[in-house]
Amino acid sequence: MKRRIGILTAGGDCPGLNACIRGVARASYSLFDTEIVGIQDGYSGLIEGNYREMKQSDFSGILTLGGTILGTRRTPFSMMRVIEDDQVDKVKAMKQNYKKMKLDCLVCLGGNGTHKTANLLSEEGLNIIGLPKTIDNDIWGTDVTFGFHSAVDIATDVIDRVHTTAASHGRVMVIEIMGNKAGWLTLYSGVAGGADIILLPEIPYDLDVVCDALRDRAEHGKTFSIIAVAEGAMSVEEAGMKKKERAAYRAEIGFSGIANYLAKAIQEKMPEIEARAVIPGHMQRGGSPSAYDRMLSTNFGVHAAQLIAGEQYGQAVGMTNNVVTHNPLSTVAGKTKFVPRDGHEIRAARAMGISLGDKNKKD
């Protein structure tokens, strides 16, 4: 029985997308008679009917390639049922184009927003498989997402390189790591890169505690310090505000990103030191996937093909206890996997003497 499979990549790009696409395709060609349709630019392409028939040769030479051969675009889940000025009913258009393409199923590679839309389409009666991609590692139902370990490698390399210039100049370097809601990337790269202070969205920081940690290092003869801070980190005061209040507060103080703010605030409180901000930005999600992510992406793609072979739809692929598995999309969509404040990674960081910017010195 021939199966016609649509594949799209949505949301932000990251290393491993092409490796995963390749895994789905090559396993599908091996397991059953198949035709594969590549949908351009994520859900936008599904809405607009922008797709192309793929050949087996399209999936050669892409294992090590960063980004996505299908292109991607952010189409917010919150806008999926909103009729905008173009008068397009997005959900209706996606269902119509799914049928127009004569798809037997649709494989959606993406993060939290992508999985929410995938679940919406599943609830609308389409055959959907979700694959967990994000450098943030914050998708519920999987221990790890592909793209995360590649980003950890890149962010750790940034911290390693900043160490030498911080030591040479005797500076405090504040390195801003991607992660708006969850701090997995900052925590892993911070520990791996030997950061002295790690600030996460899950643990609001106290600026006085941060400065005390810097003073303590100086008193013990340390001439420099490294702070790894997630872009979504916030102070104890900000954590007590509502979203609009926090936005107004940040506008009032001229907030231009957490690293810039912290470097300036630290230098004002500690004029005897020199603080600088480092923002590696989108380089954290670029380039070739690590060997780990190539393997993980391939395994995830193969598992998706196996689900299609068994006609097990409405599932999100994941990994639990080092075993590739799957969960219903309905149990994954809309849930964020945060760094647990009492998790073993946090306990290990505290045991190493790393300050997390709060008043809890040790577990």
Average pLDDT value over all residues in the chain = 93
Q: Is the pLDDT of residue 327 over 90?
A: yes
Cβ-contact 273, 244 below 8 angstroms: no
Q: What fold is seen in the domain 3-147+289-332?
A: Rossmann fold (3.40.50)
Pairing type for strands 172-177 and 51-53 reads unpaired
Residue 180: CA atoms inside 13 Å, Cβ hemisphere, count?
4
- Whether 136 is catalytic is yes
Q: Is the pLDDT of residue 354 over 60?
A: yes
Q: What is the spatial distance between Cα 41 and Cα 7, in angstroms, rounded to a whole number? A: 11
Q: Which residue has the higher pLDDT, 144 or 254?
A: 144
Q: Do domains 3-147+289-332 and 151-285+341-351 have the same CATH topology?
A: yes
Confidence grade of residue 363 (pLDDT, cut at 50, 70, 90):
very low
Select the CATH number that applies to the domain covering 151-285+341-351 from these four: 1.20.1250.20, 3.40.1530.20, 3.40.50.460, 3.30.70.20: 3.40.50.460
CA 55 to chain centre: 30
Q: What is the spatial distance between Cα 180 and Cα 258, in angstroms, rounded to a whole number? A: 11
pTM score, two decimals? 0.93
Residue 109: burial class (beta carbons within 10 Å; 0-12, 13-18, 19+): buried
Q: What is the spatial distance between Cα 225 and Cα 199, in angstroms, rounded to a whole number? A: 14
Greatest C-alpha distance within the chain: 73
CA 254 to chain centre: 27
pLDDT digits (tens, 9 = 90+) for 147-200: 999 999 999 999 999 989 988 888 899 999 999 999 999 999 999 999 999 999
61 Cβ partners below 8 Å, 6+ apart?
A: none
Give residue for tokens 């059953």.
Answer: 32
Predicted confidence at residue 196, as pLDDT, reads 96
104, 136, 138, 293: the active-site residue: 136
pLDDT digits (tens, 9 = 90+) for 256-276: 899 999 999 999 999 998 999
225: nearest Cα among 235, 236, 210: 210
Cβ-contact 276, 173 below 8 angstroms: yes
Residue 286: burial class (beta carbons within 10 Å; 0-12, 13-18, 19+): middle
Element (H, E) at 20: helix 17-31
Cβ-contact 319, 327 below 8 angstroms: no
Cβ-contact 213, 220 below 8 angstroms: no
Pairing type for strands 51-53 and 34-39 reads antiparallel
Q: Which residues pair with 316 in a beta bridge?
A: 130, 327
Say how many C-beta atoms besides its own lie within 10 A of residue 356's C-beta: 25
DSSP state of 200: B
The CA radius of gyration of the chain, in Å to the nearest whole number, is: 22
Predicted confidence at residue 99, as pLDDT, reads 96
Q: Hey, what are 200's tokens?
A: 């996460």
pLDDT digits (tens, 9 = 90+) for 104-147: 999 999 999 999 999 999 999 999 999 999 999 999 999 999 99
Residue spans of the domains in the chain: they are 3-147+289-332, 151-285+341-351
Predicted confidence at residue 79, as pLDDT, reads 86
Confidence grade of residue 361 (pLDDT, cut at 50, 70, 90):
low
Percentage of the residues of the chain whose pLDDT score is greater than 70 = 99
pLDDT digits (tens, 9 = 90+) for 7-60: 999 988 899 999 999 999 999 999 999 999 999 999 999 999 999 999 999 999
Cβ-contact 330, 119 below 8 angstroms: yes
Q: Is the pLDDT of residue 77 over 90?
A: no
97: nearest Cα among 75, 55, 126, 68: 126
Q: Which residues pair with 120 in a beta bridge?
A: none
